[in-house]
Chain A
Amino acid sequence: MLKSVWRLASGRIALALLVIIAFLAAFGSLLAPYPPNATVGVLLQGPTGAHWLGTDYLGRDVLSRMLAGSALSIGGALIVAGIALAFGAIPGILSVYLGRVFEWLSLRVIDTLIALPFLVFAVAMTALLGNGVFQATFAVGFLLAPVFYRVARTATLSVAHSDYVQAAVLSGASTGWIVRKHVLAKVLPPIAIALSTTIGIGLVVIASLTFLSIGVEPPTATWGGILASDLEYIAIQPYAPIAPIVVILISVLACNLFADAVRDVSGEAGRQLLSARDARKRPAPVAAGARAAAARAENPVAGPDDGPADAVLNVRDLTVANEVTGAELVRDVSFSLRRGQTLGIVGESGSGKTLTCREILGITPKLVKRAGGTVDILGRPTAGLSKQDWVDLRGNVISAVFQDPGSYLNPSIWVGKQVSEVLRVKQHLSRRDAKRETLRLFSAVHLRDPELVYEQYVHELSGGMLQRVLIAAAIALGPEILIADEATTALDVTVQAEILDLLEELKQREGLSLVIVSHDLAVVAQLCDEVLVMKSGKAVEHGPALEVLSTPRDEYTKLLISEHQRYGLDRFIQAKELDIV
């Protein structure tokens, strides 16, 4: 772990600072040029050759007092972290094993400790219990215990109930090996993070307490105490507080830097970070996208094709690529959607069908961009559209519904309000008219009890109902084109059929043109006039649905259809019937 931390620049700084701080805590008082509590110079003097940091109100050497105070200031923080670890980790581990009563009680105690105004309680505990260094470190350690309780509990839970530990036990691994290989790797980083942040907090709290001269009596030197006396004489020596402030801040910063570095290099994200750093040192791969684009420029496609005259959507040679790697995710896809028709796009996951739809809607993910080809919506190319043009286009002309409909609705707003929002913003309807229109739409998509659904949240509705709401939102403004991207995939079979019926009905009634994306041939066969089969980003077959499904020419299409026949229910039923006969 330390080795990984060392690989980060911030980790190296943190480790170096921590070594210096530890050295100061151990040997600081030995390095002091003067006795810390003796008057050795003029009162309240600025920095001189004899007194590098000047003298305080009693004529004591500030540098010596800073060095002598480091043992208590840093050592106190270390003891605090140790006590917090003991008070937190032990009940944290036990909470997993000692039964529900102990678990419940300890969790409530931890909740309470977290809610307490920390510093007030630290002051009160220290002073009431005897006002000494021991009481101070005990009180602060006790109040900081919740961090370790949580870390220990989480770690114990993950180890106690994890499949991989059980698998290792079953496969006969020794306990020592399991602990080294699995348990420590998982438990150490969070404990290291918690320890170093707690030491940082401990430093601040011990300094705060000593600043208030609680827990430590003068003349004992502490960083907090020095700062307090500097504040008293700040009018005479305005620069004196700089030394204790800088020292305290650097110590805290070192602890936090170390915690951040451990956080950065541990876990899955850390491994990725480190390997990404390694990768950056290697020469960058030549952009494949640029090469492909150059190749295409040399072989221009024969003449532009505007598609059929009644096409509402026309896609020509669409190529979509990842900007960074240059990988082409969709290559030279062309199709047209005629008014009132339904186009089906079929293909396995990763074949580029969703990306094609997203490019048509202008919502490709970051770094994925169109690398060639044209998309015309109602005869208008989408390439040069401004943000405002897109806002005008989406919802009004082209709209879409998706798989997992619940995630496409805001979880915090009534679903009805989200539909009426569209009507209010884009058609400038009044609140009441928008609501009335929304309820009409809800009835149109056959939602039972629109009034009730209007006031419900996403988490209160079923998947089928959510898809109906999403469809209502999509058709609210009367668009020409509706793209249904795997819109029925995660739904129950019966619900799936209902949604498909609804889409077909809306197509007839509202004059929609549909693009239906699915990996399910049955869906496409039921609804579509035309079918486009995609594989690895390319369109492998395109034609009228009946033709493609009955006499497929491409190998992949044939495979899809034969798989469907082999495993489809029809064949199973036919086989049964044959048996009976």
Chain B
Amino acid sequence: MATAEIPVGPNVGRSSPGTARSARPARYRVRRGLIALGRLLAAFVPVFVLGSFFTFLLGALSGLNPATIQLGEAATPQAVHALEKQWGLQRPFFVQYFDWFGKVLTGNFGNSWVNGNSVSSLLAGRAVISLSAAGLALLIGVVVGFALGGLATRYQSTWVDRVVTVFTSTISVMPPFIVGVALIDIFAVNLHWLPAAGYVPFGNGAGLWLSHIILPALALSFDTVADVARQLRVGLVTAQRQNYVTGAVVRGLSGRRIFFVHVLRNGVGPALAVLGLKFPNLLGGAVVTEAIFQLSGYGVFASQSAIKGDVPAVQAVLVVSVVLVVLFNMIVNVVLTRLIPASSRGV
């Protein structure tokens, strides 16, 4: 984006300080906001549309239909035909797609081919479990990642920095299902500190809920912790070298103030951006961690439905996960633009 034009009107001149605030800064800010919103939508609407199309295409390519599931081997061609008609599967591909997409926009994912229940209601309860695990993992990732990255920057090129680097490179190669098994082995089987499996809703007690959710969340979080710590260190070290830090020093600001006001604000960019990239992994990782810790979340639902060939159920999970990713990335993007306004120019 080119340098924004300063609106020049007839009343532009030397306005002495203390006069009533002119309308221009306000109008200017509104326009800035609208441009940002437009850019945000332009970046994320295609992802949603393509992601959902891809999901639908996958169902069509699978060649599965409710007849094979409900009628089994005994299906007669007439019965299959009748069922396909009942589900509207004899219609042209794009008619089916637009029908499905329209319903998806209203939150209707159709009915399960296996038991005929509404997929939305099947999914709603499970999504809470998956989101608690992913959300807690995200929290761990941000808190521990920021702490480690901050430490490494503060004690740059000392042994602290090296220990953090070795630690983050080590945990970054550990996939969730391996960490999960190892955590169960240590904390549930050997130490008997925490339950190995299952889920207790938050309503039954926060401590109980946490004790069931903490190990899956930890297993999911390793990768995020490592990447946030590394990117934060890179971002902060880069920011510390910038001229505006020298500028702030020369203006007589203290080192602490410069770090918290000027360096941190510009240095978190890469770490925030990587958070946006990691969120899909946290959601995707649910498939394995839920299997390991026997949580009946949406990940297990996805793999079980996929094995059964329940196409509407799988499509629902995939679309919901795409929506979650898109929403999360939009939030990251908004935060990023608020923190570092110049960053929006590159999108």
Q: Which positions in A face B, CB cutoff 8 Å?
A: 108-109, 111-112, 114-129, 131, 200, 204, 207-208, 211-212, 214, 224, 227, 230-231, 234-235, 238, 241, 245, 248-249, 252-253, 256, 361, 363, 387-388, 391-396, 399-400, 402, 404, 407-413, 421-422, 425-426, 436, 439-440, 442-443, 448-452, 454-462, 470, 473-474, 476-477
Contacts and interface: CB of A to CB of B under 8 A. Distances in A.
B17 A450 contact: yes
Given A245-B181, A411-B340, A459-B342, A470 B314 contact: no
B252 A394 contact: yes
B250 A234 contact: no
Contacts of B25: 451-452, 454-455
Nearest to B59: A128
Contacts, number: 267
A461 B342 CA distance: 12
Interface stretch (B98-106, B120-128, B201-209, B299-307): B299-307
Contacts of A238: 185, 189-190
Given A112-B51, A452-B24, A211 B18 contact: no
26 contacts: A111-B43, A115-B280, A117-B321, A119-B299, A120-B321, A123-B302, A124-B303, A129-B61, A234-B185, A361-B250, A391-B253, A391-B254, A396-B252, A409-B244, A410-B248, A412-B340, A425-B254, A425-B257, A439-B18, A448-B13, A449-B12, A449-B13, A450-B15, A452-B25, A459-B3, A473-B251
Interface of B: 3-4, 6, 12-19, 21-22, 24-25, 28-29, 43, 46-47, 50-51, 54, 58-59, 61-62, 64, 169, 172-175, 177-178, 181-182, 184-185, 189-190, 196, 242-244, 246-255, 257, 261-262, 265-266, 277, 280-281, 283-288, 291-292, 299, 302-303, 306-307, 309, 311, 314, 317-318, 321-322, 325-326, 329, 339-342, 345
A117 B284 contact: yes
Q: Which of A408, A457, A477 gathers most chain B CB within 10 Å?
A: A408
Nearest to A405: B247
Contacts of A456: 6
Contacts of B253: 391, 395, 421-422, 425-426
B18 A408 contact: no
Contact of A391 (B252, B311, B318): B252
Nearest to B24: A452
Contact of A474 (B173, B251, B317, B339): B251
A363 B3 contact: no
Given A394-B250, A458-B342, A241 B182 contact: yes
B209 to A, nearest CB: 23
A436 B318 CA distance: 55
B243 A200 contact: no
Nearest to B20: A451
A117 B291 contact: no
Interface of B is mostly: helix
B236 to A, nearest CB: 14
A364 B343 CA distance: 29
Contacts of B12: 448-449
B286 A404 contact: no
A379 B272 CA distance: 48
Nearest to A201: B175
A420 to B, nearest CB: 11
Contacts of A124: 58, 302-303, 306, 314, 317-318
A410 B265 contact: yes
B286 A363 contact: no
A421 B284 contact: no
Contacts of A207: 175, 177
B265 A412 contact: yes
A245 B244 contact: no
Given A112-B51, A224-B177, A395-B251, 19 more contacts: A114-B277, A115-B325, A119-B287, A120-B284, A121-B318, A124-B302, A211-B288, A212-B288, A249-B173, A387-B255, A399-B251, A408-B246, A410-B262, A412-B265, A451-B19, A451-B22, A452-B28, A461-B3, A470-B247
Contact of A443 (B17, B50, B51, B302): B17
Q: Which of B50, B169, B196, B252 gathers most chain A CB within 10 Å?
A: B252
A426 B252 CA distance: 8
A212 B291 contact: yes
A127 B303 contact: yes
Contacts of A127: 303, 306-307, 309, 314
Contacts of A227: 177-178, 181
A474 B252 CA distance: 9
B54 A400 contact: no
Contacts of B22: 451-452
Given A120-B283, A120-B286, A124-B302, A411 B181 contact: no
Nearest to A214: B303
A462 B251 contact: no
Contacts of A112: 46-47, 50-51, 54
A233 to B, nearest CB: 11
Contacts of B292: 231
Contacts of A131: 307
A411 B322 contact: no
A448 B13 CA distance: 6
Q: Which of A118, A410, A456 gathers most chain B CB within 10 Å?
A: A410
A211 B290 CA distance: 12
B65 to A, nearest CB: 12
A245 B182 contact: yes
Nearest to B314: A124
Contacts of B329: 115
A393 to B, nearest CB: 7
B265 A128 contact: no
Contacts of A396: 252
Given A115-B329, A450-B15, A120 B317 contact: yes
Contact of B177 (A122, A129, A208, A450): A208
Contacts of B286: 119-120
Nearest to B311: A128
Nearest to A398: B250
Contacts of A451: 15, 17, 19, 21-22, 24-25
Contact of A394 (B47, B249, B262, B284): B249
A23 B225 CA distance: 34
A549 to B, nearest CB: 30
A234 B189 contact: yes
B173 A256 contact: yes
Counting from the closest, the 3 A-B pairs by CB-CB distance are A395-B252, A408-B247, A127-B306
Nearest to A404: B243
Contacts of B28: 452, 455
Contact of B284 (A119, A442, A443): A119
A123 B303 contact: yes
A128 B64 contact: yes
Nearest to B328: A115
Contacts of B250: 361, 363, 394-395, 399-400, 408, 474
Q: Which of A119, A211, A394, A474 gathers most chain B CB within 10 Å?
A: A119
B252 A477 contact: yes
B266 A410 contact: yes
A118 B281 CA distance: 6
A462 B99 CA distance: 53
Contacts of A108: 46-47, 50
